[in-house]
Structure 1
Amino acid sequence: MDEIDRRILNALQVDSSQTNSELALAVHVSAPTCLRRVKHLTESGVIQRQVAIVAPEKVGPSLTAIVEISLDIQAAERMAEFEAHVAADDAVLQCYRVAPGPDFVLIVQVEDMPAYHALAHRLFATQTNVRNVKAYFSTFRSKFETRIAV
């Protein structure tokens, strides 16, 4: 990855809706060069996907919870099993294995507290390997960024 690739990635992280021509102009390369590089960055997995970021408060009531999960058994296959279980739920936006402390931290987005309780029941209470669940509920989001420095 060279400086041109870094400029492309930075520009796309700010606004991925740019046309190829607009992007090429912004990063000071020709349109064919830009297209070829974006294609390579995508095919190599550097660019995982391009999405629209939705403001949760604009689409209805929402509650963000940061949830710590500790498992009874931390064998690799049991950790992978739990990850697959929570990844299948649309309310789980992010899942991290962490250390030290709990085994996982999840970021979940639900409509309200009853929806969180339903999520907790289906994802945690029904799992025999879940030992402890600790949830924190966001009262205000002062920063949200998806950009990674490259």
Structure 2
Amino acid sequence: MRAVQPELDAIDLQLLERLQTDASLSNQALAERVHVSPPTCLRRVKRLFEAGLIEREIAVLSVDALAPIIGHGLCAVVEITLDRQDQAALEAFEFKVAQDDAVQQCYRVSPGPDFCLVVHARDMPDYLALTQRLFTFDANVRNVKTFFSIKRSKFGARVPLP
């Protein structure tokens, strides 16, 4: 359960901006960049986490740098349309795809398909296994339309802040 959303001041917005650009900054370096003391910085960042404004910190891996090591892999955007769109059916599908490591992102969308997924597979046989696991054996999946990425032009998770 999330706490009451805090009021955000200019320092909080600066912290959020810096962290989403480079979460590897030490508390000392972060404090210097936003012109507060290290204890104040640590307390504010902790409050932002507790309020649920920062979900987690992760490392973003370079797909291109990993390609020679683990194989090129496939990235695909997949549109899914379900037969039934009642709340239980939508939530069951969301839960199933969220459990699969190949699914990087899942969006419930409207109008058009019910979901758009971003998936990664090692190769075409791996993608086939993914489609069977997630779509073919699900009687509620009516239509699957896949777009394979030939080049990633932009990738990011930064939220524009005021």
Q: Same fold (TM over 0.5)?
A: yes
1:43-82 equivalent positions in 2, closer than 5 A: 43-59=50-66, 60=70, 61-82=72-93
- Superposition pairs of residues 31-110 of structure 1, within 5 angstroms: 31-59=38-66, 60=70, 61-110=72-121
State how far apart, in whole Å, the 1-side matches of 2:73 and 2:14 are: 35
CA shift, 1:75, in A, is 0.1
Give distance in 2, aligned partners of 1:93 and 1:141: 14
**Cα distance in 2 between the residues matched to 1:12 and 1:95:** 24
Q: Are residues 1:24 and 2:39 paired? A: no
The Cα of 1:57 is off from its aligned counterpart by 2.3
User: Percent identity among equivalent residues?
Assistant: 53
- Per-residue CA distance 1:2-44 (angstroms, 9 max, x = gap): 1100000100111100100000001111111100000000011
2-side partners of 1:104 and 1:35: how far apart? 38
How many equivalent pairs are there?
A: 150
Partner of 1:8: 15
TM-score (norm 2): 0.91
Distance 2:154 2:96 in 1: 29
Runs of 4+ in 1 over 4 A off after TM superposition: none
Q: Alignment partner of 2:113: what SS?
A: coil
Equivalent position SS for 1:108: strand
CA-CA distance at 1:112 after TM superposition: 1.2
RMSD: 0.7
Name structure 2 gaps, 5 residues minimum.
Answer: 1-7
Specify every segment of 5 or more residues in structure 1 that has no aligned partner in the other structure, as ranges.
none
Which of these residues, 109, 126, 145, is aligned with residue 156 of structure 2?
A: 145
Q: Could you tell me how far apart the structure 2 residues matched to 1:113 and 1:30 are?
A: 52
